[in-house]
A and B are shown apart, each in its own frame.
Chain A
Amino acid sequence: MKCKVCREHAVVDIRRHNAGFCQDHFLEHARNQVARAIKEFKMFRADDRLLLAVSGGKDSLALWDILIDLGYDVTGFYLDLGIGGYSNRSKDLSISFAESHSAKLLVRSIETEHGFNVPELSALTGRVPCSGCGLSKRYEFNRAALEEGFEVLVTGHNLDDEVATLFGNVLHWNTEMLGRQMPVLDERILGEGDDARVALVRKAKPLVKLSERETAAYALLRGIDYVIEECPMVEGNTQHRYKHAITLLEESSPGTKSQFYAGFLRKAADRFRDAADNQADDSEVVACASCGAPTVRRGAHESRCSFCRTKDLAMKRKAEARRGPARRKSGA
Protein backbone atom coordinates (compact mmCIF):
# COMPACT_ATOMS: atom_id res chain seq x y z
CA MET A 1 0.00 0.00 0.00
CA LYS A 2 1.22 3.51 -0.89
CA CYS A 3 0.80 6.78 0.95
CA LYS A 4 -2.07 8.70 -0.65
CA VAL A 5 -0.08 11.95 -0.32
CA CYS A 6 3.48 11.12 -1.41
CA ARG A 7 3.16 7.55 -2.84
CA GLU A 8 5.89 6.29 -0.49
CA HIS A 9 5.44 3.08 1.50
CA ALA A 10 2.37 3.31 3.79
CA VAL A 11 2.46 2.26 7.45
CA VAL A 12 -1.16 3.02 8.38
CA ASP A 13 -4.27 2.08 6.44
CA ILE A 14 -7.51 3.92 7.18
CA ARG A 15 -10.25 2.09 5.36
CA ARG A 16 -12.99 4.64 6.00
CA HIS A 17 -10.89 7.15 4.04
CA ASN A 18 -9.89 4.43 1.56
CA ALA A 19 -6.33 5.60 2.12
CA GLY A 20 -2.88 4.65 3.33
CA PHE A 21 -0.37 7.03 4.88
CA CYS A 22 3.40 7.02 5.39
CA GLN A 23 4.53 7.90 8.91
CA ASP A 24 4.99 11.63 8.33
CA HIS A 25 1.73 12.09 6.46
CA PHE A 26 -0.20 10.01 8.98
CA LEU A 27 1.05 12.20 11.85
CA GLU A 28 0.09 15.27 9.81
CA HIS A 29 -3.35 13.73 9.15
CA ALA A 30 -3.91 13.17 12.89
CA ARG A 31 -2.90 16.73 13.81
CA ASN A 32 -5.11 18.10 11.02
CA GLN A 33 -8.12 16.12 12.27
CA VAL A 34 -7.68 17.55 15.77
CA ALA A 35 -7.19 21.10 14.47
CA ARG A 36 -10.26 20.69 12.25
CA ALA A 37 -12.43 19.45 15.15
CA ILE A 38 -11.32 22.38 17.36
CA LYS A 39 -12.21 24.85 14.60
CA GLU A 40 -15.44 23.22 13.36
CA PHE A 41 -16.98 22.92 16.82
CA LYS A 42 -15.46 26.18 18.15
CA MET A 43 -14.00 24.24 21.08
CA PHE A 44 -11.61 26.85 22.45
CA ARG A 45 -9.54 29.89 21.53
CA ALA A 46 -5.80 30.01 20.96
CA ASP A 47 -5.20 31.81 24.28
CA ASP A 48 -7.53 29.73 26.49
CA ARG A 49 -5.92 27.85 29.38
CA LEU A 50 -6.71 24.17 28.86
CA LEU A 51 -6.77 21.43 31.49
CA LEU A 52 -6.41 18.02 29.84
CA ALA A 53 -7.59 14.94 31.73
CA VAL A 54 -4.70 12.48 31.40
CA SER A 55 -4.94 8.77 32.18
CA GLY A 56 -1.60 7.49 30.88
CA GLY A 57 -3.48 5.82 28.00
CA LYS A 58 -2.95 6.32 24.28
CA ASP A 59 -5.77 8.82 23.72
CA SER A 60 -4.96 11.40 26.37
CA LEU A 61 -1.19 11.22 25.79
CA ALA A 62 -1.59 11.45 22.00
CA LEU A 63 -3.91 14.43 22.43
CA TRP A 64 -1.50 16.09 24.85
CA ASP A 65 1.29 15.68 22.28
CA ILE A 66 -0.88 17.13 19.50
CA LEU A 67 -2.14 20.10 21.55
CA ILE A 68 1.44 20.98 22.55
CA ASP A 69 2.45 20.66 18.90
CA LEU A 70 -0.42 22.94 17.83
CA GLY A 71 0.81 25.55 20.33
CA TYR A 72 -1.95 25.48 22.96
CA ASP A 73 -1.44 26.35 26.63
CA VAL A 74 -2.31 22.92 28.00
CA THR A 75 -1.76 21.44 31.46
CA GLY A 76 -2.24 17.73 32.13
CA PHE A 77 -4.32 16.55 35.07
CA TYR A 78 -3.75 13.02 36.37
CA LEU A 79 -6.26 11.73 38.90
CA ASP A 80 -4.95 8.73 40.83
CA LEU A 81 -7.95 6.41 41.17
CA GLY A 82 -6.16 3.98 43.49
CA ILE A 83 -6.58 0.93 41.25
CA GLY A 84 -3.44 -0.84 42.50
CA GLY A 85 -0.49 -1.37 40.15
CA TYR A 86 -2.57 -0.23 37.15
CA SER A 87 -2.92 3.27 38.62
CA ASN A 88 0.76 3.34 39.65
CA ARG A 89 1.91 2.45 36.14
CA SER A 90 -0.44 4.90 34.42
CA LYS A 91 0.63 7.69 36.79
CA ASP A 92 4.34 6.97 36.12
CA LEU A 93 3.73 7.10 32.35
CA SER A 94 1.86 10.41 32.66
CA ILE A 95 4.69 11.90 34.73
CA SER A 96 7.30 10.57 32.27
CA PHE A 97 5.42 12.17 29.36
CA ALA A 98 5.22 15.51 31.17
CA GLU A 99 8.94 15.43 31.99
CA SER A 100 10.01 14.45 28.47
CA HIS A 101 7.84 17.19 26.92
CA SER A 102 8.56 19.82 29.61
CA ALA A 103 4.79 19.97 30.06
CA LYS A 104 2.82 21.07 33.13
CA LEU A 105 1.11 18.27 35.06
CA LEU A 106 -1.25 18.48 38.03
CA VAL A 107 -1.58 15.25 40.06
CA ARG A 108 -4.29 14.54 42.61
CA SER A 109 -5.41 11.38 44.37
CA ILE A 110 -9.06 10.50 44.92
CA GLU A 111 -8.07 8.83 48.18
CA THR A 112 -6.29 11.93 49.47
CA GLU A 113 -9.09 14.22 48.33
CA HIS A 114 -12.06 12.15 49.50
CA GLY A 115 -10.92 9.22 51.65
CA PHE A 116 -11.66 6.32 49.32
CA ASN A 117 -10.37 4.81 46.10
CA VAL A 118 -12.37 3.47 43.15
CA PRO A 119 -12.33 -0.24 44.16
CA GLU A 120 -13.43 0.75 47.69
CA LEU A 121 -16.15 3.04 46.34
CA SER A 122 -17.58 0.14 44.36
CA ALA A 123 -17.37 -2.31 47.28
CA LEU A 124 -18.87 0.14 49.79
CA THR A 125 -21.76 1.44 47.67
CA GLY A 126 -22.51 -1.51 45.38
CA ARG A 127 -22.04 0.74 42.34
CA VAL A 128 -20.58 -0.84 39.20
CA PRO A 129 -16.84 0.10 39.27
CA CYS A 130 -16.93 2.01 35.96
CA SER A 131 -19.98 3.97 37.15
CA GLY A 132 -18.33 5.09 40.41
CA CYS A 133 -15.11 5.79 38.53
CA GLY A 134 -16.88 7.91 35.89
CA LEU A 135 -18.79 9.85 38.54
CA SER A 136 -15.58 10.53 40.52
CA LYS A 137 -13.64 11.59 37.43
CA ARG A 138 -16.34 13.96 36.14
CA TYR A 139 -16.54 15.54 39.58
CA GLU A 140 -12.81 15.87 40.19
CA PHE A 141 -11.95 17.04 36.66
CA ASN A 142 -14.48 19.86 36.96
CA ARG A 143 -13.42 20.75 40.51
CA ALA A 144 -9.73 20.88 39.55
CA ALA A 145 -10.44 23.03 36.46
CA LEU A 146 -12.47 25.53 38.51
CA GLU A 147 -10.08 25.64 41.45
CA GLU A 148 -7.04 26.12 39.24
CA GLY A 149 -8.67 28.71 36.98
CA PHE A 150 -8.78 26.85 33.65
CA GLU A 151 -11.20 28.00 30.96
CA VAL A 152 -11.73 24.61 29.31
CA LEU A 153 -11.58 20.98 30.43
CA VAL A 154 -10.33 18.83 27.55
CA THR A 155 -10.81 15.06 27.42
CA GLY A 156 -9.43 12.36 25.14
CA HIS A 157 -12.77 10.93 24.00
CA ASN A 158 -12.21 9.58 20.49
CA LEU A 159 -14.60 8.66 17.68
CA ASP A 160 -15.08 5.13 19.05
CA ASP A 161 -15.93 6.46 22.53
CA GLU A 162 -18.53 8.82 21.11
CA VAL A 163 -20.00 6.19 18.78
CA ALA A 164 -20.28 3.64 21.63
CA THR A 165 -21.99 6.23 23.84
CA LEU A 166 -24.32 7.23 21.01
CA PHE A 167 -25.10 3.57 20.31
CA GLY A 168 -26.00 3.01 23.98
CA ASN A 169 -28.11 6.17 24.16
CA VAL A 170 -30.03 5.15 21.04
CA LEU A 171 -30.49 1.55 22.22
CA HIS A 172 -32.09 2.86 25.41
CA TRP A 173 -33.67 5.96 23.82
CA ASN A 174 -32.02 8.11 26.41
CA THR A 175 -33.27 11.32 24.79
CA GLU A 176 -31.94 13.63 27.51
CA MET A 177 -28.40 12.29 27.03
CA LEU A 178 -28.79 12.40 23.23
CA GLY A 179 -29.59 16.11 23.58
CA ARG A 180 -26.30 16.66 25.39
CA GLN A 181 -23.97 14.39 23.42
CA MET A 182 -21.92 17.08 21.70
CA PRO A 183 -18.17 17.44 21.03
CA VAL A 184 -18.23 20.62 23.13
CA LEU A 185 -20.41 21.62 26.08
CA ASP A 186 -20.70 25.23 27.22
CA GLU A 187 -19.86 26.22 30.76
CA ARG A 188 -22.77 26.34 33.19
CA ILE A 189 -23.34 29.42 35.33
CA LEU A 190 -25.21 29.30 38.64
CA GLY A 191 -26.60 32.36 40.41
CA GLU A 192 -27.31 35.83 39.06
CA GLY A 193 -25.69 39.24 39.12
CA ASP A 194 -22.84 39.48 41.62
CA ASP A 195 -23.54 35.92 42.80
CA ALA A 196 -23.11 34.40 39.32
CA ARG A 197 -20.27 31.86 39.11
CA VAL A 198 -19.12 29.16 36.73
CA ALA A 199 -20.28 25.87 38.24
CA LEU A 200 -19.47 23.57 35.33
CA VAL A 201 -16.45 24.40 33.22
CA ARG A 202 -16.59 24.27 29.41
CA LYS A 203 -15.76 20.78 28.10
CA ALA A 204 -14.25 19.80 24.75
CA LYS A 205 -13.35 16.55 22.97
CA PRO A 206 -10.86 17.32 20.18
CA LEU A 207 -10.31 13.63 19.22
CA VAL A 208 -13.85 13.06 17.90
CA LYS A 209 -12.61 12.86 14.30
CA LEU A 210 -9.99 10.19 15.07
CA SER A 211 -10.72 6.51 15.70
CA GLU A 212 -9.19 4.61 18.58
CA ARG A 213 -6.96 2.80 16.10
CA GLU A 214 -5.68 6.12 14.77
CA THR A 215 -4.87 7.51 18.24
CA ALA A 216 -3.03 4.27 19.09
CA ALA A 217 -1.10 4.47 15.80
CA TYR A 218 -0.25 8.11 16.49
CA ALA A 219 1.06 7.28 19.98
CA LEU A 220 3.15 4.39 18.70
CA LEU A 221 4.63 6.27 15.75
CA ARG A 222 5.49 9.23 18.01
CA GLY A 223 7.26 6.88 20.43
CA ILE A 224 4.84 7.71 23.25
CA ASP A 225 4.99 5.11 26.01
CA TYR A 226 1.39 4.54 27.14
CA VAL A 227 -0.34 2.02 29.38
CA ILE A 228 -1.35 -0.90 27.14
CA GLU A 229 -2.98 -3.12 29.73
CA GLU A 230 -6.71 -2.87 30.33
CA CYS A 231 -8.00 -1.49 33.60
CA PRO A 232 -8.49 -4.60 35.80
CA MET A 233 -12.00 -3.39 36.69
CA VAL A 234 -13.28 -3.12 33.11
CA GLU A 235 -14.51 -6.74 32.88
CA GLY A 236 -18.10 -6.82 31.58
CA ASN A 237 -18.19 -3.05 30.93
CA THR A 238 -21.11 -2.16 28.65
CA GLN A 239 -19.24 0.51 26.71
CA HIS A 240 -16.51 -2.03 25.96
CA ARG A 241 -19.03 -4.55 24.61
CA TYR A 242 -20.61 -1.89 22.39
CA LYS A 243 -17.18 -1.05 20.98
CA HIS A 244 -16.53 -4.65 20.03
CA ALA A 245 -19.92 -4.91 18.29
CA ILE A 246 -19.38 -1.64 16.42
CA THR A 247 -15.86 -2.67 15.38
CA LEU A 248 -17.31 -5.76 13.69
CA LEU A 249 -19.66 -3.51 11.73
CA GLU A 250 -16.79 -1.17 10.82
CA GLU A 251 -14.69 -4.11 9.64
CA SER A 252 -17.39 -5.27 7.23
CA SER A 253 -18.53 -1.75 6.24
CA PRO A 254 -15.72 0.80 6.61
CA GLY A 255 -17.06 4.24 7.46
CA THR A 256 -20.01 3.01 9.54
CA LYS A 257 -18.78 4.65 12.74
CA SER A 258 -18.06 8.07 11.31
CA GLN A 259 -21.30 8.08 9.29
CA PHE A 260 -23.32 7.18 12.39
CA TYR A 261 -21.70 9.91 14.51
CA ALA A 262 -21.43 12.65 11.88
CA GLY A 263 -24.99 11.91 10.75
CA PHE A 264 -26.23 12.23 14.33
CA LEU A 265 -24.52 15.61 14.79
CA ARG A 266 -25.72 16.89 11.42
CA LYS A 267 -29.25 15.52 11.25
CA ALA A 268 -30.46 14.45 14.68
CA ALA A 269 -28.72 16.08 17.65
CA ASP A 270 -30.84 19.25 17.46
CA ARG A 271 -34.02 17.19 17.63
CA PHE A 272 -33.08 15.95 21.10
CA ARG A 273 -32.00 19.35 22.45
CA ASP A 274 -35.55 19.93 23.73
CA ALA A 275 -35.39 16.76 25.81
CA ALA A 276 -32.22 17.99 27.52
CA ASP A 277 -33.61 21.55 27.92
CA ASN A 278 -36.98 20.35 29.24
CA GLN A 279 -35.26 18.19 31.80
CA ALA A 280 -33.36 21.21 33.05
CA ASP A 281 -36.52 23.39 33.04
CA ASP A 282 -38.83 20.92 34.75
CA SER A 283 -36.56 20.28 37.67
CA GLU A 284 -34.78 23.33 38.98
CA VAL A 285 -30.98 23.20 38.82
CA VAL A 286 -29.49 24.38 42.12
CA ALA A 287 -26.11 24.37 43.87
CA CYS A 288 -25.33 21.20 45.84
CA ALA A 289 -25.85 21.93 49.54
CA SER A 290 -22.53 20.22 50.33
CA CYS A 291 -20.11 21.31 47.61
CA GLY A 292 -21.87 23.88 45.42
CA ALA A 293 -21.76 21.84 42.20
CA PRO A 294 -24.91 22.04 40.05
CA THR A 295 -27.55 19.45 40.79
CA VAL A 296 -31.28 18.97 40.27
CA ARG A 297 -33.49 19.94 43.23
CA ARG A 298 -35.25 16.90 44.65
CA GLY A 299 -38.62 17.83 46.14
CA ALA A 300 -38.58 19.87 49.34
CA HIS A 301 -35.49 18.13 50.64
CA GLU A 302 -32.03 19.62 50.73
CA SER A 303 -30.40 18.99 47.37
CA ARG A 304 -27.02 17.37 47.18
CA CYS A 305 -25.20 16.25 44.03
CA SER A 306 -24.79 12.63 43.04
CA PHE A 307 -21.10 12.62 43.98
CA CYS A 308 -21.69 14.00 47.50
CA ARG A 309 -24.52 11.52 48.14
CA THR A 310 -22.37 8.63 46.91
CA LYS A 311 -19.37 9.82 48.91
CA ASP A 312 -21.47 10.14 52.10
CA LEU A 313 -22.81 6.63 51.65
CA ALA A 314 -19.29 5.27 51.13
CA MET A 315 -17.90 7.06 54.20
CA LYS A 316 -20.86 5.99 56.35
CA ARG A 317 -20.36 2.35 55.40
CA LYS A 318 -16.61 2.62 55.85
CA ALA A 319 -17.17 3.95 59.39
CA GLU A 320 -19.69 1.18 60.11
CA ALA A 321 -17.21 -1.44 58.90
CA ARG A 322 -14.56 0.03 61.24
CA ARG A 323 -16.94 0.10 64.22
CA GLY A 324 -18.23 -3.43 63.56
CA PRO A 325 -15.37 -5.49 65.07
CA ALA A 326 -14.98 -3.08 68.03
CA ARG A 327 -18.67 -3.42 68.91
CA ARG A 328 -18.45 -7.20 68.75
CA LYS A 329 -15.33 -7.08 70.92
CA SER A 330 -16.97 -4.91 73.58
CA GLY A 331 -20.07 -7.16 73.59
CA ALA A 332 -17.98 -10.31 74.08
Chain B
Amino acid sequence: MRVKLRNPDRVVQVKGPKTVVDMLDELDIVPEAVLVIKDKTLLTRDERVDDSDEVEVRPVLSGGAGDGE
Protein backbone atom coordinates (compact mmCIF):
# COMPACT_ATOMS: atom_id res chain seq x y z
CA MET B 1 0.00 0.00 0.00
CA ARG B 2 0.96 3.65 -0.50
CA VAL B 3 1.42 5.46 2.80
CA LYS B 4 1.75 9.23 2.89
CA LEU B 5 3.74 10.56 5.83
CA ARG B 6 4.03 14.17 7.01
CA ASN B 7 6.60 16.61 8.34
CA PRO B 8 8.30 16.29 5.95
CA ASP B 9 5.82 15.07 3.32
CA ARG B 10 6.92 11.73 1.79
CA VAL B 11 5.45 8.45 0.55
CA VAL B 12 6.49 4.94 1.59
CA GLN B 13 5.28 1.50 0.51
CA VAL B 14 4.07 -1.06 3.05
CA LYS B 15 3.08 -4.61 2.15
CA GLY B 16 -0.60 -5.41 2.79
CA PRO B 17 -2.99 -6.62 3.89
CA LYS B 18 -2.54 -5.82 7.54
CA THR B 19 -4.27 -4.01 10.37
CA VAL B 20 -3.70 -0.31 10.92
CA VAL B 21 -1.87 -0.99 14.18
CA ASP B 22 0.46 -3.49 12.46
CA MET B 23 1.14 -1.04 9.63
CA LEU B 24 2.06 1.66 12.17
CA ASP B 25 4.22 -0.79 14.08
CA GLU B 26 6.11 -1.60 10.88
CA LEU B 27 6.70 2.12 10.38
CA ASP B 28 7.72 2.51 14.04
CA ILE B 29 4.92 5.03 14.66
CA VAL B 30 3.02 5.25 17.97
CA PRO B 31 -0.71 4.91 17.12
CA GLU B 32 -1.72 7.38 19.82
CA ALA B 33 0.36 10.09 18.10
CA VAL B 34 -1.36 9.94 14.70
CA LEU B 35 -4.56 9.77 12.72
CA VAL B 36 -4.79 7.28 9.85
CA ILE B 37 -6.84 8.67 6.99
CA LYS B 38 -8.33 6.88 3.99
CA ASP B 39 -10.73 8.51 1.52
CA LYS B 40 -11.19 11.59 3.76
CA THR B 41 -12.31 9.54 6.73
CA LEU B 42 -10.53 7.89 9.65
CA LEU B 43 -9.53 4.31 10.32
CA THR B 44 -9.55 2.76 13.77
CA ARG B 45 -6.50 0.73 14.76
CA ASP B 46 -8.21 -2.63 14.22
CA GLU B 47 -9.19 -1.93 10.58
CA ARG B 48 -7.56 -3.82 7.72
CA VAL B 49 -5.73 -1.98 4.97
CA ASP B 50 -5.10 -3.74 1.68
CA ASP B 51 -2.12 -3.72 -0.63
CA SER B 52 -3.97 -1.53 -3.12
CA ASP B 53 -4.99 1.10 -0.53
CA GLU B 54 -3.66 4.63 -0.21
CA VAL B 55 -3.59 6.01 3.31
CA GLU B 56 -2.22 9.08 5.06
CA VAL B 57 -0.61 8.96 8.49
CA ARG B 58 -1.02 12.42 10.00
CA PRO B 59 0.77 13.41 13.22
CA VAL B 60 -1.36 15.10 15.86
CA LEU B 61 1.19 16.33 18.40
CA SER B 62 1.96 20.01 18.05
CA GLY B 63 4.69 21.78 19.93
CA GLY B 64 5.73 25.33 20.59
CA ALA B 65 4.97 27.97 23.10
CA GLY B 66 1.84 26.19 24.31
CA ASP B 67 -0.35 29.25 24.22
CA GLY B 68 -3.38 28.03 22.46
CA GLU B 69 -2.12 27.10 19.06
Interface of A toward B, CB cutoff 8 Å: 1, 10-13, 15, 20, 23, 53, 55, 57-60, 130-131, 133-134, 137-138, 141, 154-157, 160-161, 164-165, 205, 212-213, 215-217, 220-221, 223, 228-231, 233-234, 237, 239-240, 243-244, 247-248, 250-251
Contacts and interface: CB of A to CB of B under 8 A. Distances in A.
A59 B61 CA distance: 11
Interface of B: 6-7, 30-35, 37, 40-47, 58, 60-69
Given A221-B41, A243-B63, A251-B32, 20 more contacts: A11-B41, A13-B46, A20-B44, A53-B67, A58-B62, A59-B69, A60-B68, A130-B65, A130-B66, A134-B64, A141-B68, A157-B68, A164-B66, A217-B42, A228-B6, A230-B7, A230-B62, A237-B64, A248-B30, A251-B30
Nearest to A241: B63
Given A221-B41, A248-B30, A133 B60 contact: no
Contacts of A216: 35, 58, 60
Contacts of A141: 67-68
Given A213-B32, A247-B30, A131 B65 contact: yes
23 contacts: A11-B43, A13-B44, A13-B45, A20-B44, A59-B62, A59-B69, A130-B64, A130-B66, A141-B67, A155-B67, A156-B68, A164-B66, A212-B62, A213-B60, A215-B60, A216-B60, A220-B37, A220-B40, A228-B6, A243-B61, A243-B63, A247-B33, A251-B30
Nearest to A63: B68
A127 B31 CA distance: 34
B64 to A, nearest CB: 5
B37 to A, nearest CB: 7
Nearest to A248: B30
B30 A165 contact: no
Contacts of A213: 32-35, 60
A160 B60 CA distance: 10
B42 A221 contact: yes
A134 B32 contact: no
A14 B69 CA distance: 22
Contact of A161 (B35, B37, B47, B66): B66
A55 B68 contact: yes
Nearest to B58: A228
B64 A239 contact: yes
Nearest to A20: B44
Interface centre among B30, B32, B41, B69 (most CB of A within 10 A): B69
